């Protein structure tokens, strides 16, 4: 049986020291994704003193481009800590990450709780719980000796690459066009490097949000008012060099920018 506490301590220690996480010891490696999420919960508790309270969630592998890139054919989730949430225009240190990358995302701010007791949720059923949408840069960190060999359970245990986000100005739900028609462009140093649409995110970003609400409910947890959810990247991850300037432009939602200084 996996030693959940021991595995969580290994993951948390690697995060604190920005040490590349290799394969967990055989006795500590999660045997399946359920164990990965149990370790993740313990990691959140261990790291809250370092990185602040959990401010929301990220959903990975919600688009075909990311499922193909990572070789994982279904969504996975991770947590976002308060210290990792930045406003558009942020200037961040490239060297504060192991190998930093960015993704173009439609962010959602939750306006009312989606209680576990109300599950199961549908894409249509979660809409009224949305307070606002935000253009978002997800910050991801390749903290691994070789993520291709670790498997989804271990990546889940370490929040599935999550390292924070940069958020643009929120737009009220009533002011936002159909998310299917939103086009997201990833621009690095003035050059477009990727493009996708809201339809690429599980068919609709609301489908991703419903998946997350049901996933949390299965663990006895709820999505809470005020939390931010990153619904999944419209483009393949872009890995950065020191000094890169990042802009994500999402039609109908606005733009969000950050630089990663050396």
Q: What is the pLDDT of residues 154-167, one digit of tens each?
A: 999 999 999 999 99
Render pLDDT for 23-56 as a digit per residue (tens, 0 to 9): 887 788 999 999 999 999 999 999 999 999 999 9
Is residue 135 a contact partner of residue 248, using CB atoms and an 8 Å limit? yes
Tell me how long the chain is: 262
Q: Yes or no: say if 46 and 18 are a contact pair by the CB < 8 Å rule.
A: no
pTM: 0.96
Three-state SS at 197: strand
Burial (CB count within 10 angstroms: exposed 0-12, middle 13-18, buried 19+), residue 227: middle
pLDDT tens sequence across 51-77: 999 999 999 999 999 999 999 999 999
pLDDT at 1: 64
Tell me the C-alpha distance between 126 and 108, whole Å.
11
Q: What tokens appear for 221 in the block?
A: 């947890």
Helix axes 33-51, 4-17, angle to 10 degrees: 50
Say whether the peptide bond before residue 253 is cis (omega within 30 degrees of 0).
Answer: no
User: Span 168-177, mean pLDDT?
Assistant: 93
Residue 207 makes CB contacts below 8 A (sequence gap 6+) with 123, 201
Average pLDDT of span 173-189: 94
3-state secondary structure of 228: strand
Domain 4-261: top CATH class: alpha beta
In this predicted model, what pLDDT tens digit does every residue of 102-137 receive, in sequence order?
Answer: 999 999 999 999 999 999 999 999 999 999 999 999
């Amino acid at each position: 049986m996996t030693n959940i506490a021991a595995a969580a301590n290994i993951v948390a220690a690697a995060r604190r020291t920005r040490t590349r996480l290799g394969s967990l010891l055989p006795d500590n490696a999660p045997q399946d994704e359920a164990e990965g999420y149990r370790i993740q919960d313990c990691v959140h508790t261990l790291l809250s003193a370092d990185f602040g309270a959990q401010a929301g969630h990220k959903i990975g592998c919600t688009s075909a481009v990311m499922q193909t890139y990572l070789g994982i054919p279904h969504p996975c989730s991770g947590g976002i800590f308060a210290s990792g949430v930045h406003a558009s225009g942020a200037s961040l240190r490239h060297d504060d990450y192991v190998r930093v990358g960015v993704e173009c995302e439609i962010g959602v701010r939750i306006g009312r709780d989606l209680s576990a007791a109300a599950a199961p949720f549908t894409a249509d059923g979660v809409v009224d719980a949305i307070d606002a949408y935000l253009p978002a840069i997800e910050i991801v960190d390749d903290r691994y000796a070789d993520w291709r060999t670790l498997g989804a359970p271990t990546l889940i245990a370490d929040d599935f690459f999550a390292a924070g986000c940069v958020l643009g100005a929120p737009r009220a739900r009533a002011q936002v066009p159909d998310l299917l028609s939103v086009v997201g462009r990833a621009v690095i140093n003035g050059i477009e490097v990727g493009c996708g649409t809201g339809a690429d995110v599980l068919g609709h970003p609301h489908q991703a949000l419903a998946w997350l609400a049901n996933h949390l409910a299965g663990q006895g947890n709820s999505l809470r008012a005020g939390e931010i959810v990153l619904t999944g990247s419209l483009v393949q991850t872009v890995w950065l060099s020191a000094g890169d300037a990042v802009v994500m432009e999402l039609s109908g939602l606005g733009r969000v920018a950050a630089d990663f200084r050396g």
